[in-house]
Amino acid sequence: MAEVCARAARLRGRAERVRLGEVTVRDLCRYAIAVGDDEYAAAARAAAAAGRPVVAPPMFLTSILSWQDGPPEGELRPDGLGAQESPCTEGLPVRQVHGGQAVRLLAAVAAGMTIHAERSLTGADRKRGRAGDFVVLGLRTEYFDGSGTPLAVSDESVIVLGDADEA
């Protein structure tokens, strides 16, 4: 766990801004169907066919773990995450679980918008529990449209678990 904290100290406060891409009606419908909102998907397709704007479900942006195709299965970590979703832990014998998320929705997202995200590590707290040491990483992701208008902010925690002697 000491190595996770050392890596976090080097990354803390450093923001990485990436262009995620353009939101499509197909993306929104896939998300809606995945969360069981078939009615939204049908209404979105009808709105798009009629030339009306299609506004995303509120949690769409913050629910997407990765906007890339994803790594091949052989490149996934033992906990199922890709390297991009695993800050401070590459090559370490640890696993991660999501600890929680607080989301602020600032503006509507619609199909056709180009989305950018800025992600930063906000903290790393080493703790001790019954099963041993663990680290709680704080992550912030801010989402913007192509003109820089803030859309949403997500503050989340990731719990890094492992054997203190190994990490």
Tens place of pLDDT for every residue, the chain, 167 residues?
888 888 888 888 888 898 999 999 999 999 999 999 999 999 999 999 999 999 999 999 998 755 566 667 777 766 666 666 667 787 788 888 888 999 999 999 999 999 999 999 999 999 988 888 899 999 999 999 999 999 999 999 999 988 544 44
Q: What is the DSSP pairing of strand 114-129 with strand 94-105?
A: unpaired
Q: Is the pTM of this model over 0.85?
A: no
CATH topology of domain 2-162: Thiol Ester Dehydrase; Chain A (3.10.129)
Helix (H) or strand (E) holding 42: helix 38-49
DSSP per-residue codes, 122-141: EEEEEEEETTEEEEEEEEEE
Whole-angstrom Cα distance, residue 52 to residue 45? Answer: 10
Where in the chain are the domains? Answer: 2-162
Distance CA 96, CA 161 (A): 6
pLDDT score recorded for residue 8: 84
